[in-house]
Amino acid sequence: MSIPLPEYHSHEEFQNRSRKLAEIKALQIDPYPPKYVQTKRSAELMLETEGKEIGHSEDAAAGKTERVFVSGRMVLFRAMGKNAFAHLQDETGRIQVMFNRDGTEVAGLKAEGELTPLKFIEKKLDLGDIIGVEGFIFRTQRGELTVFAKMVTVLCKSLLPLPDKHSGLADKGVIYRKRWLDLITNSDSLARFRARSRILLAIRNYMDESGFEEVETAVLQNTYGGAQAKPFMTHLNALKQDMFLRISLEIPLKKLIVGGMQKIFEIGKVFRNEGIDKTHNPEFTMMEAYAAGWDYNDMMDFTEGLFEKIALELFGDTKIRFTPEGEATAYVIDVKSPWKRMTMKGAIETYANIYVDKMSDADIRSHLLHHASLDPDAVRSAPRGILISMLFEEFAEKHLIQPHHIIDHPIETTPLCKPHRDPQERKEGLVERFESFILAREMCNSYSELNDPQLQRDLLVEQAEKKAAGDPEANPLDEEFLEAICQGIPPTGGVGIGIDRLVMLFTQAESIRDVILFPLMRPED
């Protein structure tokens, strides 16, 4: 079988660089050595030398300044007579390097023939190549920090060019599919993903300080549950059985609370076979946390503290400044506790001027059918609780710019939440649930967890019946989970937070694809 070469193998640039690679190897120079120790990164050097007198090029040539080992990708090169200058880019930024006709050597290059070290650098290296430089620092006449290169080591000869330095990457499809090019050419994108790492660290530190233990549960499950979503299916050959990728972290974590663990959390991937838009990706990251003895009021306080912690870690302030794409207005979002708390009905009244308790089911349906872009069949068949939820989503949610907790949802919206403790609210079919919203996006979902095994069975049987009737997002009956609940789970508060949306907030990203390194995309032809 003959496998054809990809199209880029025939490109002129690939051919030229491949020829240079062969010539480098012919000189007995290893273009892909196994190791190089970098003692300083560019940002560290900039910070350490800021405002300091460090000497001129003559001092560096004589070895009288600080000796450093730097490495990076060559992203700019210009020859100037007996000197040549380059910019090396590492993960922290760029630093200038000066190559000198008389003072620079190339590792492995024998001092014979017409190919001097400077000529080798000019003729055999290209933009995009990764090199290591041992040298001494100095400032140019313009004050730019520079490394006088004494020894240059080829670390990786690249065979394909980088995107044009002026136009960069404009095609979003290329940015998301070939994230490595985005990170090389777009410093803002690199900073966003480095901020994501800092956010995850801040979350874990906050959870540890709050007495939570991190656990890991299975991604492959026999029965899925914990959310209303359509799952991805796969097949396990070893046991000859179909499996599901988890749609939630909830069910196994509750089993651990039954087992006696008191405060636990998990950060992990979940998978929902749903649509793709600016805030949804079929594979995304969730954090779920459960605390025995807590209720949804405790979780509201806890959630506010988490967002405060992240903001202070990133900005030293609880204020986040955000300008939506295509808008001139800049929002200042303050995540400082306490956040505004409103019932779902109260939010509909406040932001949509709709008084649910004065409307019959028919009135609500009529309003939704005339004023909302919803599936008419879904509206006509929905029970009252779902109709109220539809009103909220269509007419109130878009107004929740500053942090809001929307509390006390209809029981029809979730089968896993405890009925409201207030007799009147319970009578009206409300549960102790809240969702938090910022910039009109749902940020988290929380319950006082249902621990009545009989009611839990009734609600899950209702879900199973919906599934049997054709609802693709309804949950199957999970008898193992019901068995665990029958063995006793203490009063528990739980919360689920979408990590990707949280990162969008704190990095001012417009799309969830901007905060996921490799979002789901159609394959290229």
Span 467-510, pLDDT tens digits: 899 888 888 899 999 999 999 999 999 999 999 999 999 999 99
CB atoms within 10 A of CB 336: 14
H helical segments located in 65-221: 117-124, 172-177, 179-185, 187-209
Mean pLDDT of 434-440: 96
Beta carbons within 8 Å of 405's beta carbon, 6+ residues apart: 300, 303, 339, 340, 341, 342, 434, 435, 436
Higher per-residue confidence, 169 vs 247: 247
Residue 483 corresponds to which tokens in the numbers above?
A: 């068995």
H helical segments located in 399-520: 423-427, 453-468, 479-486, 499-507
Tell whether the model's pLDDT for residue 166 goes beyond 60. Answer: no
Contact criterion met (CB below 8 Å) for 183 and 193: yes
Q: Are strands 213-214 and 263-271 parallel, antiparallel or unpaired?
A: parallel
The pLDDT value recorded for residue 170 is 79
The pLDDT value recorded for residue 475 is 84
The three-class DSSP label of residue 409 is strand
Kindly tell me the sign of the dihedral angle through the C-alpha atoms of 360, 366, 371, 372: positive
Q: How confident is the model at residue 325 (pLDDT cuts 50, 70, 90)?
A: confident
Superfamily of 7-162 according to CATH: Nucleic acid-binding proteins (2.40.50.140)
Mean pLDDT of 173-200: 94
Domain ranges of the chain: 7-162, 185-339+402-514
The pLDDT value recorded for residue 164 is 76
Span 396-427, pLDDT tens digits: 999 999 999 999 999 999 888 999 999 999 98
Mean pLDDT of 193-222: 97
Q: How confident is the model at residue 330 (pLDDT cuts 50, 70, 90)?
A: confident
The pLDDT value recorded for residue 193 is 97
Rounded Cα distance, 259 and 51, in Å: 59
Rounded Cα distance, 106 and 264, in Å: 55
Q: Are strands 130-139 and 319-322 parallel, antiparallel or unpaired?
A: unpaired
CB atoms within 10 A of CB 522: 8
Tell whether the model's pLDDT for residue 284 goes beyond 90. Answer: yes
- Amino acid 263 reads K
Contact criterion met (CB below 8 Å) for 345 and 356: yes
Question: pTM score, two decimals?
Answer: 0.92
Span 355-400, pLDDT tens digits: 999 999 999 999 999 988 899 999 999 999 999 999 999 999 999 9
The pLDDT value recorded for residue 525 is 66
Mean pLDDT of 5-23: 95
Phi, psi of 108, deg, nearest 5: 90, -10
| Residue where the block lists tokens 């190791």 | 35
Mean pLDDT of 236-245: 96
- Answer yes or no: same fold for 7-162 and 185-339+402-514: no
Closest CA to 184 of 202, 168, 197: 168
H helix or E strand, kind and range, residue 273: none
Q: How confident is the model at residue 228 (pLDDT cuts 50, 70, 90)?
A: confident
Give one word for 143, left, alpha or beta, with left for phi > 0 and alpha for psi -120 to 50. left
The pLDDT value recorded for residue 365 is 96
Superfamily of 185-339+402-514 according to CATH: Bira Bifunctional Protein; Domain 2 (3.30.930.10)
Mean pLDDT of 154-159: 98
Mean pLDDT of 436-462: 94
| Residue where the block lists tokens 């505004």 | 340
Tell whether the model's pLDDT for residue 436 goes beyond 80. Answer: yes
The pLDDT value recorded for residue 167 is 59
